[in-house]
Amino acid sequence: MLALEGLQILDITWQGPGPFCTMILGDLGAEIIKIGPPPTAGARQATKEAGKREVAYQATNRNKKSILLNLKSEEGRSIFHKLAKEADVIVEGFRPGVTKRLGIDYQTITEINPKIIYCSITGYGQDGPYRDLPGHDVNYISIGGVLNLIGEADRQPVVPLNLVADYGAGGMSAVVGILSALIARGKTGKGQYIDISLTDSVILLLTQVVLDHYFQSGVVPKRGEHYLSGAYPHYNIYEAKDGKFITIACLEPWLWENLCREIGREEFIPFSLTRGHLPNPTENEKWEEISSYLKQLFLTKTRDEWFELLSQKDVPIGKVYSLDEVFADPQVLHRKMVIEVEHPTEGKVKQVGIAIKLSDTPGKVRSLPSLAGEHTNEILISLGYSEQRISKLRQKGVIS
């Protein structure tokens, strides 16, 4: 048995947070029906040329069935409404107002299915002065205050891929919101609307690290000067002899003491971090001396030598990996964060594993990503459509 087995989710999302959200829910057992628009003739040919091999590795589309549906047509909307009547959850990623124009908005769907949980994921939310602005991850983390805090003090901000707003904030917030609404529905019998703003979710990530201190002191944190951004020798990145890097994270005094004793510099022990040093740097000439010493010291052994030595002495140390190293690491392999799934034509295909480990109802990759529209016939037949009617709908461009 899977934790979310029996739940049906309609996924009308395309990029970043939406597919990531529904991938997690699908891994945990929900049936995901991914709905996309019928392609143009050129796009259809390009899809065929891409082939199943490329599609098989698109992990955010695993455990999902695919139907291509023209929601701008009356017949397309009718099919969507039939699907929505039987669904538990709808996840959509249109700009505010688009679903209303298409006739698939929450108010319309809740009249068809009062128990529906309807989650909208947008950059700025369904209201406010920015609600209609276009954007992507870097826009949301800039307005949310995260981007200005990432990087070195004397350089411009560093773009952290699209890991913060799309995945760490928005996608995860949508998962939490949907699961919370499902629990609430179990108590009230009613569905509800979930308004996920990527910008809101980005700001939420700042709660403990920055905002607690800023609201208390009024001091605006600066890039590269926060205790968790490399301002202190205790929590930083260091280059090793082989040009690779290690991370040291001795925030607690006893962990700092472990490091100092192991490197034979007990005189550094009194200069551990204390609450009074947070959140911004305190002028301390000794810390400058310690930082300089550590930079030179870590150049005397390779990255892996330092890890082997210090990890045995209860010192928080990490190896800065490239992706090929990540998926060869014994801890990552032991935790099954890289898995192989059998594909009907491509053989064994590697995928990122399932991070949420449930003891009794563990998640599972039940199916690899399908070609766009691969399940259109299957889904329509389950709704009662005949093969003849399906053929006519395809000829009219309603489905693909």
**For the purposes of burial, counting CB atoms within 10 Å of the CB of 245, is it exposed (0-12), middle (13-18) or buried (19 or more)?**
middle
For residues 400 and 390, what is the distance between their CA atoms, to the nearest angstrom? Answer: 10
Judge whether 297 and 264 are in contact, CB under 8 Å: no
Judge whether 219 and 213 are in contact, CB under 8 Å: yes
What is the residue type of 238? Y
Report residue 190 as tokens: 């009613």
One DSSP character per residue, 247-264 reads EEE--SHHHHHHHHHHTT
CA distances from 218 to 206, 267, 279 (A): 15, 35, 11
Catalytic residue among 132, 166, 212, 360: 166
166 classed as catalytic = yes
For residues 355 and 33, what is the distance between their CA atoms, to the nearest angstrom? Answer: 22
What is the residue type of 51? G
Judge whether 178 and 194 are in contact, CB under 8 Å: yes
Closest to 371 in 3D by CA, of 398, 339, 344, 342: 344
CA distances from 276 to 156, 283, 284, 305, 399 (A): 28, 12, 13, 34, 63
For residues 211 and 151, what is the distance between their CA atoms, to the nearest angstrom? Answer: 18
Closest to 165 in 3D by CA, of 129, 226, 123, 193: 123
Judge whether 61 and 349 are in contact, CB under 8 Å: no
Q: Which residues are catalytic?
A: 166
